[in-house]
């Protein structure tokens, strides 16, 4: 029972990090870049194997792995901002 709950929690965290990465990429690139669909396999069809991003129709598209890295980068930056803000008080 605990294993199932652990896997569900891990999937929820993974999903949250990927969605955060997708929003972070759209915000930073001002809409010029985009993330691939969460239920699609666009990265497998148009991108090279193991790629974090690829170009399609003139736009940069981040794969799910690339979105994961972008989401992790967002949370690392958020942590640094929190540390900086806490040092001010």
The pLDDT of residue 33 = 93
What is the rounded distance in angstroms from the CA atom of residue 13 to the CA atom of residue 15?
5
The pLDDT of residue 31 = 83
What is the rounded distance in angstroms from the CA atom of residue 89 to the CA atom of residue 83?
10
What is the rounded distance in angstroms from the CA atom of residue 15 to the CA atom of residue 73?
15
Give the angle 83-17-48 at the CA atoms, nearest 5°. 120
Tokens of 17: 């990090």
Low-confidence ranges of the chain (pLDDT < 70): none
Neighbours of 16 (CB within 10 A): 12
């Amino acid at each position: 029972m605990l294993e199932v709950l652990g896997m569900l929690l891990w999937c929820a965290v993974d999903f949250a990090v990927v969605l955060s990465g997708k929003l972070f990429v759209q915000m930073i690139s001002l809409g010029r870049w985009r993330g691939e669909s969460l239920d699609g396999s666009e990265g497998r069809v148009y991108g090279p194997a193991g790629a974090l991003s690829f170009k399609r129709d003139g736009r940069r598209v981040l794969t799910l792995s690339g979105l994961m890295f972008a989401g992790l980068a967002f949370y690392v930056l958020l942590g640094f901002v929190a540390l900086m803000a806490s040092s001010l008080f």
